[in-house]
Structure 1
Amino acid sequence: MNVVQRVMVADLTAQELVSSALSRFGAGDTISTRAMLDIVRRTAPACGNSDDDLVELIVMTAVGRTMGVVFDHRSH
């Protein structure tokens, strides 16, 4: 069964991955770009999108859902 789930994840677009990750949060929540990138990368390690591309999708989607965004993905 794990094999089927991995194939399904590989078929998801970056937008679908981001949307799925953000579905864990609600309107008014503040999300971390670092945490969101971590969720997306763990869910789909083969995702070919750059971190910058994913952050853009994360921000656009989160703002559309009235969520706040903390830009902490470049801090170490």
Structure 2
Amino acid sequence: MNVVPRVAVVDLTAQGLVTSALSKFRAGDTISTRAALDAVRRIGPACTDSDDDLVELIVMTAIGRTMGVVFDHRSR
């Protein structure tokens, strides 16, 4: 009898995606909004939040972790 173990599917919220994307950085690092947005979209391709909403979460999370933020997401 073959038994397939159940694997929990984790559906990350926008905040969870941002937290995951910024987890590689430390206090004092500078975060690019463009790079952070790209990372969030890679981690959670099904995320339906707008870029502006995600940038707001990125900024608030980065500031809370004493990171600097470079606003370069609109200079494509």
In 2, Cα distance between equivalents of 1:14 and 1:55: 11
Larger proportion of helix: 1
1:28 is aligned to 28
Matches within 5 A, 1:1-76: 7-8=9-10, 11-76=11-76
Q: Unaligned 5+ residue runs, structure 1?
A: none
Q: How many Å apart are 1:17 and its aligned residue?
A: 0.5
| Aligned positions, number | 70
2:4 is aligned to none
* Structure number, greater radius of gyration: 2
Q: How many Å apart are 1:74 and its aligned residue?
A: 0.1
SS of match in other structure, 2:27: coil
CA-based RMSD = 1.3
State the Cα deviation string for residues 23-72 of structure 1 (Å, max 9, x = none).
Answer: 10000000000000000001111101000000000000000000000000
Q: Could you state the TM-score of these two structures normalised by the residue count of structure 1? A: 0.87
Q: Unaligned 5+ residue runs, structure 2?
A: 1-6
